[in-house]
Structure 1
Amino acid sequence: MPGEADVVDAQQVLEAERAHLKGAREALRRMREHAESLSADAAGDWVSKQVLESLLDQRVRALADHPDTPLFFGRLDHRADADPGTGEDLPQAVHVGRRHVHDEEGLALVLDWRAPVARAFYQAGPREPMGVARRRRFGFDRGELTGFEDEPLDGRELGPSRLLTEEVERPRTGPMRDIVATIQPEQDVIVRAALPDTVCVQGAPGTGKTAVGLHRAAYLLFTHRERLGRSGVLIVGPNRAFLSYIASVLPALGEVRVDQATVDDLLGVPTGTEPLSTAALKGDVRLAAVLRKALWMHLDKPETGLLFVKGGSRYRIPADEIRELVSSLRGTTRYAAGRNTLAQRLAHRVLVQMEQRGEAPDDRVHDAVARSKAVKAVVDQVWPKVTPQQVLHRLLGDAEFLARAAKGLLDEEEQAALLWAKAPRSVRSARWTSADLALLDELADLIERTGSLGHLVVDEAQDLSPMQLRALGRRCATGSATVLGDLAQGTTPWAVRSWRDVLVHLGKEGEVTELTLGFRVPREVLEYAARLLPSVAPGLAAPQSLRAGTGALSVRRVRDVHDAAVTAVLEAQARDGSIGVVVADGRLADLAAVLEGNGVDHAVLTPEGVEGERVHLVPASLAKGLEYDHVVVAEPAEIVEAEERGLARLYVVLTRAVTSLTVLHRAPLPGALA
């Protein structure tokens, strides 16, 4: 038991830290006011002024002080003889927080967690103290400092941190929170990986893989702000509900310039549907070769030679020379660039003839010849201008053309499966599916190069088809990527079985890191869900949890699942935290009516997300990536039967709980769970 003097000393330390927090908040307010006072009027022109105004607005938003979020969460006390290794003259005591805060004299009151010296907060330990004598963690409640915990790094083994455990287990409502105060050493290594490195993370449920990916994006933006400010960072998630859930993480860290999108946001809005087997075939990487052949099959042999007339002079290029030019260019460049190059090469041949006749043509004459009707007519005949939609419309609607393009790549049965039963009359009337959009994107890149971002974060990557992965890879062709997912949670018919395959389809080389130690899902819940692993991902190691979670799991066989769900929700409402009721998509309306009939206020999660209400009714297909303190799963058998990879979907559903999981069933449970 601590003595009275210890209690007094602790209270004095606490008051001093509260004073520091108050001063830091005041300094942040002054920083924000200074940013607001800056004007873009000094810009030299209207465009520069608009750019500067945008940058200043982003700066003001990045300096926002969120009252419910602690400004700092830790402190490092360096040894007197310690060299932080940064070349800076830093104070002996350093407070670590979500962003940098300094006073009017430039003295750092809070150091950004991404700064090099702050790395010790996550990595220092008894065996490797990294120059740190003591690490202090702070406890907060609604932004107010409530306590602290000191960890002396003097060689003694450290026990589990109470404040760290409480922060991990703290009930949540609303969107996902950052984990900047609880990043573990193995997570920190991934977060601080160098910008050129592509990192692939296989993460079991509750290991924080999504948060790690988001924090890596924040770290890279801090470390390479100018470079990534030009080239951009993009977060790609499985659906808008997921993106809505994670949307507040980066702004809370002061990063407001990161875009978020789904694959369909990037490739286009699907207007048609098709059987899953057809979509899976269209997602096969062999289609890349089929599309390439189909595009280049649009080239034709010259019908006649080129005749260019200038004044009284005639210049001729025979058909066989044109054929040689086309052959030398075919497949060596992108399609549109090849058209332009062919026009330039033809113009060059004409200019050579002019020079042989004693003329002295210059660049203007060369350009005029390349743009002439005669040259354009030849180019349009042998190298016609096409759009991705035209090529794919012909490929899926013309059996003979498809057979030629797919020869040696797809068998007759696969070709028949790709063909439209009734081809639309025109490209405009075609109804493109989600799988078609990836094919159109492939063709678009074969015609003209896709622009590249500086960094791309792809979450739930195990559910993307090879063709979708190729589309994403093109968007970071000159940049790097953070690839996140869990092979056990693959629920699409085309879900990958190997991360190496994912990296190949992305066109990247990178290390695959496996996170198996969970901090979010209680051990009792995780071990129950892991019974499904031998069926859904037999090659993966079983995940482990640091949290025992005794009493976190309740499996009940009931007469009426809907009535039992009402009871379970009412029980959960007596405890703190968010509540998710997960049901097979086809049963969503029925359960919603029962909850409403019993006066249970709730919101139904849609692909666009959800706002308000503590209780969310969640279709199983949208549960991936989400977390709730209390999860109620209604009739697992129906979730399994609803789709081809239903057991994988059930594994996803069972691992959404942070505090408690209640499984309600009338039908027999899957064998592994019985």
Structure 2
Amino acid sequence: MLNESEAAERKHLDDIHGRLLMALREIEDKLSDSYKDIIEAKKYLWVNMAQLDAAEWAANRVDISLSIDTGEKTAAKRQRISKLVSTPYFGRVDFKAVDRLEVDAYYIGVHAFSEEESQHNLIYDWRSPVASLFYDFNVGEAFYQAPMGKVDGDITTKRQYKIKDGILDYVIESSFNIHDDVLQKELSSTSDEKMKNIVATIQQEQNKIIRNETSSELIIQGVAGSGKTSVALHRVAYLLYRYKDTLTSSNVLIISPNKVFSDYISNVLPELGEEKIMEVSMEELAEKELAGICKFETFYEQVAGLLEGQDEEIAERIRYKAGMSLIQDLDIFVKHAELHFFEVDNIELEQVFISKKEILDCYQSITGMPLKQRLDKTATIISGQSKTRDGERIPPADARKIKAAIKKMYRYPSLLTLYKEFYNYLGKPGMLKLTGKNKLEFADVFPLIYLKLQVEGAAPMQMVKHLLVDEMQDYTPVQYAVLAACFPCKKTILGDSSQSVNPYSSTSLPAIKNVFPQAETIELLKSYRSTLEIANFAQRIRRNDRLIPVERPWRGA
């Protein structure tokens, strides 16, 4: 067996560490040379600007751009190698494939590292297919999904390492997934206020989430301390690795509750070699959608109003607007608006007459599009096919008048007045209460946006190919309906339905699944955060019989 003894493991580590340091020096030299080349090329362009023709100028600019791109890739590689210099790998799995005579040893690290000449892998990225053996199987029969298909075989050895500053702290032989001793050491280690990567201690149920490639919507219901946010971020890192040709960090968006959360998670993806990804709050999305339409109070202003208790009916308004029935009522209302709010009349100009029947027939023949687009298309068709009384084509000025006249036939051109009519239609006008001139309560923000999308149509954000939603319990069904319309991409939604901070507007898992009926749900029930003493105390306050506390050592003061 390769490196059977601990002494052999230490010698192997020294060899790998030396190779990494050599690779790092070579990369530093390349970066220095690349920087000098770019400076010289720019200087050449500046000095010879007057003598170069357009083709030469363009060719030199392309060369500089290519050099910069190469330099950026080399700098990214330097960052990965620098990370490995301190901790080259954390695990090893020896695997004998059924079609091979020899056992292959795979060392698993945060990043991959290979010999420059042969490109033989010395360290495998934790996201690589073969690394799933380390997370998913005990010693014995196992398999992994390679690009060419399923590879069956047997795991003969599993080891876990603690390496810091290139020095081996310990090595543990493990027949099981992640050895309890390793997990205990990691859980008891000093932590700061930033989330860290967990690649050395990913559990089997967590790995299943991270490597899930099939679910269009994946909902992670996790108890407090189950690592759901960290697992979701590692899932993003895995998908960026797996689909590197079609998915980049600029294609991923996080919906997060606040900037404190942003700071908390900021360290994870860069540690894993990925760029930070875009992050917005629901209020920032709302500001974009309602710009020029109305203002609204913030969520915190809504909570303050609840605490002050000046409006006894505010809780009732929030509860209704946080329920599934609101979406159903809005859908019914939009259909009512399409049927009854287009008040058709004849159009009569000096040389043109258009009957209301002609307009109505055209409107009713158009289906499968939102109300406003339906009106616009009706106006375009009627103005385009109309003739003068003499059978001539109408002048552009008359065409514009016809379009304007048809659009004015819609009773509620203002989105805000249409939203007000919604509550009149329900027979509940008191459900809408403005906090100022054209200023909504926060509970009305996403119902109004949902109505806007239904009436005007959504402009899907095609650049976003994966959406990550954290603290799922704090968003209402109508907010999820808005996200579904704006982001028709794959989604990872995570949270704990028992941890909502939203008074009267928390959302249950079944309610979220009503919006995403095809979603796959995975539950994380093990809590790694607290000691048994704290977990038992918390259970006396609010019991959760499904929570499984993981024993971890007490760190005294």
Once the two structures are superposed, the pairs formed by residues 580-591 of structure 1 within 5 Å of their partners are none
Per the alignment, residue 174 of structure 1 pairs with 193
Per the alignment, residue 462 of structure 1 pairs with 473
1:72 Cα deviation from its structure 2 partner: 2.2
Q: Distance in 2 between matches of 1:165 and 1:179?
A: 13
Task: Indicate how the Cα distance of structure 1 residues 30 and 463 shifts in structure 2: closer, same or farther if over 3 A, else same.
Answer: farther
Task: Indicate how the Cα distance of structure 1 residues 242 and 257 shifts in structure 2: closer, same or farther if over 3 A, else same.
Answer: closer
Deviations 1:454-476 (A, max 9, x none): 21111110121112222222343
The 8 Å contact of residues 463 and 495 in structure 1, kept in 2 or not, is answered as yes
Q: Distance in 1 between matches of 2:525 and 2:348?
A: 67
Deviations 1:362-418 (A, max 9, x none): xxx9xx8699323322233124895xxx4236635xxxx3443325xxxx3xx4142
- 1:122 equivalent to 2:135? Answer yes
- 1:392 equivalent to 2:392? Answer no
The 8 Å contact of residues 317 and 349 in structure 1, kept in 2 or not, is answered as no
The 8 Å contact of residues 74 and 95 in structure 1, kept in 2 or not, is answered as yes
Per the alignment, residue 498 of structure 1 pairs with 508
Q: Distance in 1 between matches of 2:235 and 2:472?
A: 17
Q: Distance in 2 between matches of 1:343 and 1:487?
A: 48
Once the two structures are superposed, the pairs formed by residues 509-658 of structure 1 within 5 Å of their partners are 509-534=518-543, 541-549=545-553, 575=557
1:432 Cα deviation from its structure 2 partner: 4.0
Q: Distance in 1 between matches of 2:74 and 2:478?
A: 38
Which amino acid letter does the alignment assign opposite residue 377 of structure 2? T
- 1:379 equivalent to 2:406? Answer yes
Task: Indicate how the Cα distance of structure 1 residues 158 and 379 shifts in structure 2: closer, same or farther if over 3 A, else same.
Answer: closer
Per the alignment, residue 657 of structure 1 pairs with none
| 1:72 alignment partner, SS class | coil
| 2:87 alignment partner, SS class | coil
Which amino acid letter does the alignment assign opposite residue 498 of structure 2? A
| 1:225 alignment partner, SS class | coil
| 2:246 alignment partner, SS class | helix
Which amino acid letter does the alignment assign opposite residue 148 of structure 1? V
Q: Distance in 1 between matches of 2:326 and 2:213?
A: 34
Task: Indicate how the Cα distance of structure 1 residues 107 and 123 shifts in structure 2: closer, same or farther if over 3 A, else same.
Answer: same
- 1:235 equivalent to 2:254? Answer yes
- Residue 70 of structure 1 is aligned with which of 87, 93, 101? 87
Which amino acid letter does the alignment assign opposite residue 224 of structure 2? P
Q: Distance in 1 between matches of 2:532 and 2:538?
A: 10
- 1:192 equivalent to 2:215? Answer no
Which amino acid letter does the alignment assign opposite residue 229 of structure 2? T
| 2:439 alignment partner, SS class | coil
Which amino acid letter does the alignment assign opposite residue 521 of structure 2? V
Q: Give the TM-score of the pair, scaled to structure 1.
A: 0.64
1:51 Cα deviation from its structure 2 partner: 11
The 8 Å contact of residues 524 and 548 in structure 1, kept in 2 or not, is answered as no
1:265 Cα deviation from its structure 2 partner: 2.8
Per the alignment, residue 155 of structure 2 pairs with 132
Per the alignment, residue 211 of structure 1 pairs with 230
1:451 Cα deviation from its structure 2 partner: 1.6
Q: Distance in 1 between matches of 2:102 and 2:433?
A: 68
Once the two structures are superposed, the pairs formed by residues 51-450 of structure 1 within 5 Å of their partners are 57=72, 60-61=75-76, 64-65=79-80, 70-79=87-96, 81-82=97-98, 92-105=104-117, 106-130=119-143, 131-141=154-164, 144-151=167-174, 160-229=179-248, 232-256=251-275, 258-268=277-287, 271=297, 273-274=301-302, 275-276=305-306, 277=315, 278-289=317-328, 291=330, 293=333, 296=337, 299-305=341-347, 307=349, 314-329=351-366, 332-350=368-386, 372-383=399-410, 386=413, 390-392=414-416, 395-396=419-420, 401-407=421-427, 412=428, 415-420=429-434, 424=437, 430-446=438-454, 447-450=456-459
Which amino acid letter does the alignment assign opposite residue 431 of structure 1? K
Deviations 1:146-196 (A, max 9, x none): 232233x5xxx7894423321232111131101111101111111111154
Q: Distance in 2 between matches of 1:436 and 1:377?
A: 30
| 2:90 alignment partner, SS class | strand
Task: Indicate how the Cα distance of structure 1 residues 394 and 381 shifts in structure 2: closer, same or farther if over 3 A, else same.
Answer: closer
Q: Distance in 1 between matches of 2:458 and 2:23?
A: 47
The 8 Å contact of residues 109 and 126 in structure 2, kept in 1 or not, is answered as yes
1:218 Cα deviation from its structure 2 partner: 1.1
| 2:346 alignment partner, SS class | coil
Per the alignment, residue 46 of structure 2 pairs with none
Task: Indicate how the Cα distance of structure 1 residues 328 and 44 shifts in structure 2: closer, same or farther if over 3 A, else same.
Answer: farther
CA-based RMSD of the aligned residues comes to 4.1
Task: Indicate how the Cα distance of structure 1 residues 339 and 125 shifts in structure 2: closer, same or farther if over 3 A, else same.
Answer: same
The 8 Å contact of residues 526 and 544 in structure 1, kept in 2 or not, is answered as no
The 8 Å contact of residues 268 and 437 in structure 1, kept in 2 or not, is answered as no
Q: Distance in 2 between matches of 1:53 and 1:504?
A: 49
Task: Indicate how the Cα distance of structure 1 residues 291 and 501 shifts in structure 2: closer, same or farther if over 3 A, else same.
Answer: closer
Q: Distance in 1 between matches of 2:189 and 2:476?
A: 36
The 8 Å contact of residues 24 and 109 in structure 1, kept in 2 or not, is answered as no
Q: Percent identity?
A: 24
| 2:248 alignment partner, SS class | helix
The 8 Å contact of residues 526 and 545 in structure 1, kept in 2 or not, is answered as yes
Deviations 1:72-125 (A, max 9, x none): 22122223x5569xxxx9992222112222332223232211111111010120
Task: Indicate how the Cα distance of structure 1 residues 339 and 433 shifts in structure 2: closer, same or farther if over 3 A, else same.
Answer: same
Per the alignment, residue 654 of structure 1 pairs with none
Which amino acid letter does the alignment assign opposite residue 516 of structure 1? L
Q: Distance in 2 between matches of 1:404 and 1:47?
A: 62
Task: Indicate how the Cα distance of structure 1 residues 34 and 261 shifts in structure 2: closer, same or farther if over 3 A, else same.
Answer: farther
Per the alignment, residue 498 of structure 2 pairs with 488
- Gaps in structure 2 of 5+ consecutive residues: 43-56, 144-153, 289-295, 307-314
| 1:135 alignment partner, SS class | strand
The 8 Å contact of residues 184 and 552 in structure 2, kept in 1 or not, is answered as no
Q: Distance in 1 between matches of 2:532 and 2:493?
A: 26
The 8 Å contact of residues 419 and 451 in structure 2, kept in 1 or not, is answered as no
Per the alignment, residue 13 of structure 2 pairs with 17
| 1:19 alignment partner, SS class | helix
Q: Distance in 2 between matches of 1:82 and 1:28?
A: 37
